[in-house]
Structure 1
C-alpha cells in the first residue's frame, strides 16, 4: 500500500486575480476573456488570469521591439544589467514562499520540492548575472600588418519565451535571466495552467529596475498566443520548453522568417544498472527518478534497464520502497508525490498502464488512481516484464510510472537505451569505471549520470539529442545563445587592390 496524505480542505479560498504585463503596465487585454485555474489537488478555483489574444501578442511584441531598438536595456553596461538581475534574485528569495505556494497549488507539486526549486532558481538568476559581465567577443591581431579583426557578441533582439506547466518558475529561470543578461527583450508565455508565479516574477522585475517593455508576460492558449509569438516577424528568437509535438510546430512557425530556435523537449530516460552496482543507492535513485514531480518531468528516469541476473531482486526492492512513498496533499511538507496536472492527463497515464498490462507487462506495484474525493492522484507504479517495443517503453508517459526492462550484455543495454526517439538524459550504475565510461560515451543523450541521478547545477549545460530538442540551456555559454556574432574587419593604413598600385 502507498502511504496516503489526504489533502486538507483549503480554508476560505480567495481566487487570486492576475492581469497581463505589457510595456511596463498591468493591463486587462483587448478582450475580456479569462482563464480559471482549478487546483489539481483540491478541485477548487485558485487563480484567474486575463486571457490574451493575437492583438495582445502584437502589442507585447511591439513593446519588446521598441524597448530593444530604442530603449536603454541593450545599451546599459553589463555591470548595470548584472546589478539589476542580482537585485531581482534577492527579491525572488524574499518572496520565495509566495512563489512556492503558487506553483504547489496550481501544479499540484509538493511544497517541500517547490521550495527547493525556488532556491535553485535564485542561484540561476545570480549565475546569469555573473555571466552578463563575462560576455565578450574576440580579437585577432595575427592577420597581417594591415589587418585587424574583432568579433563582437550582440544581443539577438526580441525573444519569445514559452514555458510549460511542470516546473513553472524553474524553467522560466533557465531562460529569461540569460536573455536579459545578453541585453535582449522578451515576451513570455507561461502555461495557462500555471501562470501565477511567472506573473509575480513580472512584478519583481519591474521593482528591481527592468525598464518598461523589456519583459512582457501574457497568458493564453498555444493555438492563438503561442502561434503568434513564434511566427511574428519582429521576433528574432524562440526559446521553447514543452512536448516534442508542439516543438515541431514551433520550428515550422519559426521557419517562416528563419528565427533562431532553442527547444527543450521530451525524454524517455534510461537508468542502466549492472550487477556490481551499489543496489541500495540505485534503488533509492530509481524511485526518486521515477516519482519526482509525479513523473511529470522530461528528465524522469522512466526506464530501468536492469541486468537479467539482478532484475527480480531489483524489481522487488523498488516495489517495496514504492510502498513508502507519500502521495497526496501538495501543501503538506511530508508529501513526496502530489497531484496530476489535469484529469485528462491522468486518463492518459492510466491508458499507458492498462495498455502495458494488456501487452504482457506485470504491475508490480500501484497501477491505479487514488481517490481522495477531489483532485486527481496516481499511485506510484512499477511495471515489470516490459519489452522495448511496448508503447510504455518508447513513449513519454509523463507520470509516476516506472518500466523495468532486462539486458544481458553491455551491447544489449546500449541498444535498448538508444532505441527510442529521445536523447535527453541517462544514468549508469556500476562500480567499474570502464563500464560507466563506455555507457557514457555511447548512449546518445545530453546528460549521463554515473552512480547518481538527476543532480544538476547552473554551471552544467542541459539539453538533448534527437527529438529531445535543439541547443543547450544553463552553463557558461548560456548567455551567448541569446547573441549574434558580428565581425569587424579593419584595414590599417593605405589599402592596395585591383586598381591601386602596390
Structure 2
C-alpha cells in the first residue's frame, strides 16, 4: 500500500493526501518516473510523487477490463445511477476540502473553485446518476415479417486524460457519463495538478464501487499519458488539453482504432455591436477572458467592437479591468486573479506579452508580472491589433486580451472565423434577428448571445476544426460513451 502525507492547506485545514496510484480500489506505489507538484503561489514543492510506469498502466487497464467484464457493465442501470448519486453526495460533503486542494495545487482562487468547479462537479454526477437508466435505443419494423432493434452499449475501458485548469471539474465531466453508460475508466490527471483526483479515490472506496471501475494513475504525459493512449486494451480515449497534444493522442489512438473525444484549444472571439447593452457587453467580455486568470479553453480573448463605440468601449473595459485588478492570495475572498499554473506557463504568457509589444500592438493596461513571488501576471489589455499578430492568432491561455474595431457584419464574421480554432464565440446586440443570424454564421461549437463563458451540464460542450472532436456533457456525452448495436430479427420470413 502506498503511504499518505499530511498536508496543511493555506486555509488552516489539514488532510491526508494519497500519494500512490489508485488501482483496483487500492492505493499502490507507482514504479515510474518521479515528479513534483509545485504551488503556483509560493513556487515551493508541495509533494513529490512517483508516477505510473507502463507496468502500472497495464495493471490499471487490466483492473478496468476485469471490472467491465465482471459486474459493472451487467449491473442494472438504476443501480449504476445509485452509485453516482453516492459519489455526488460525497463530493458535496467534501466540497470545501476538494476546492481547497485544487486552489492549493492549481493556484486558482478558492472561491472560484468552491462555487464554480465543485458545484459543477456535484451537479454533473447528479445529472448522470439520473440519466443512467434512461439510455435507450429504438425498435424499427422493416417489413411485416421482420423487425430490427438498436441498443446502446458501453464501449468498454475508457482512458481519460484531464487538464490542469479545472482539475476536479474535468474529472467529473469525464468519469460521470462514462460510468452512467456502463464503462470502466482509467483516469490520468495532469501532472501539475494530481492531488484532488487522487483524493477522489477515497470517495470511490467510500461509495462502495466495485474494484476496478474507477482507476486513477498519475504521471508525466510523455510516459504515463502516452502508454495509456497507446494501450491495446483501451477502447476509448477522452482528452482535454492543447491541440498539439490532442493530435498526438489521436495518432496514438489509431493503433487499435480507439474511439476518441478531444476537447482542445481555442482562440475565441467576442463581437460587440453598437446596439448592444453597453455595460453588459463590457462586463461579460471582461469575464469572458479574465475568468480563472485566463486559463480557460473557451476564453473570448479576441474582442471586436463596432467602430462607432470602439473608443468608448475600450475606455470602459480598461476601467473595469483596473477595478478588478486584485491579484494575490488565492484564499482571500477579495482576490480576483489567482496564479498561472507553472513557471513554464508563466514564462509563456509573458513571452506573448513581449511579442505583442514588439509587434506594434498598443498596451493599455498590465503587461507585467504582479508581485515578486508566485506565478502572478497582471491582467493585460492590448488594443489596435492586427490579424497577423501572434497575440491575435495563437492561444495564450492567460489574462491577456486583444481589442480591435470593425465596420461591417461581414467583415467581423470573416475575422472571427479566420482561425484554425472553433471552440466558442460571443456576440452582443439587442437586435434579436441579428443575434441569431450571426450566431449561425460563426464557426464555433458554442455561441453565447449577450453573455460569455456559460456552461451547463445538460448542454453539449465542444468545438469545430482544431478545437476538437465530439462533445461532452448533456445527452451528447452519453452518445460519446456508447455504441449502437443493430439486431435484426426474422419473425418467420423464408427465402
Normalising by the smaller structure, the TM-score range is over 0.9
Residue 369 of structure 2 corresponds to: 369
Say if 1:385 and 1:464 are closer, same or farther in 2 by CA, change over 3 A.
same
Report 1:188-337 matches (<5 A): 188-325=187-324, 326-337=326-337
1:81-106 CA-partner distances (Å, limit 9, x unpaired): 00110011000000001100111011
Q: What do you get for the CA RMSD once the two structures are aligned?
A: 1.6
TM-score (norm. length: structure 2): 0.95
1:302-351 CA-partner distances (Å, limit 9, x unpaired): 11011112111111111111111111111112211100111121111111
- Say if 1:147 and 1:492, in contact at 8 Å, map to a contact too: yes
Report 1:31-180 matches (<5 A): 31=32, 33-69=33-69, 71-116=70-115, 117-140=117-140, 142-180=141-179
- Say if 2:60 and 2:215, in contact at 8 Å, map to a contact too: yes
Alpha-carbon offset, residue 35 of structure 1: 2.5
- Say if 1:17 and 1:49, in contact at 8 Å, map to a contact too: no
Say if 1:459 and 1:12 are closer, same or farther in 2 by CA, change over 3 A.
closer
Q: Determine the C-alpha separation between the residues in 1 that align with 2:383 and 2:14.
A: 42
Alpha-carbon offset, residue 16 of structure 1: 4.1
Alpha-carbon offset, residue 205 of structure 1: 1.6
- Say if 2:31 and 2:51, in contact at 8 Å, map to a contact too: no
1:107-142 CA-partner distances (Å, limit 9, x unpaired): 1001110002101110010001111111011111x3
1:413-446 CA-partner distances (Å, limit 9, x unpaired): 1000001111111000011112111210000001
Q: Secondary structure at the match of 2:180?
A: helix
Q: Secondary structure at the match of 2:475?
A: coil
Say if 1:121 and 1:258 are closer, same or farther in 2 by CA, change over 3 A.
same
Alpha-carbon offset, residue 173 of structure 1: 0.9
**Structure 1: gaps of 5 or more residues:** 1-7, 498-502
Residue 22 of structure 2 corresponds to: 21
Size of the alignment, in residue pairs?
485
Q: Determine the C-alpha separation between the residues in 1 that align with 2:232 and 2:217.
A: 18
Residue 338 of structure 2 corresponds to: 338
Alpha-carbon offset, residue 11 of structure 1: 7.2
Q: Determine the C-alpha separation between the residues in 2 that align with 1:159 and 1:344.
A: 30
Q: Determine the C-alpha separation between the residues in 1 that align with 2:260 and 2:73.
A: 21
1:436-488 CA-partner distances (Å, limit 9, x unpaired): 11210000001110011111211110000000000000012322211111111
1:255-307 CA-partner distances (Å, limit 9, x unpaired): 11111100000011111001111111111112111111110110111110111
Residue 496 of structure 1 corresponds to: 494
Q: Secondary structure at the match of 1:21?
A: strand
Residue 444 of structure 1 corresponds to: 443
Say if 1:485 and 1:15 are closer, same or farther in 2 by CA, change over 3 A.
closer
Residue 347 of structure 1 corresponds to: 347
Q: Secondary structure at the match of 1:477?
A: helix
- Say if 1:47 and 1:196, in contact at 8 Å, map to a contact too: no
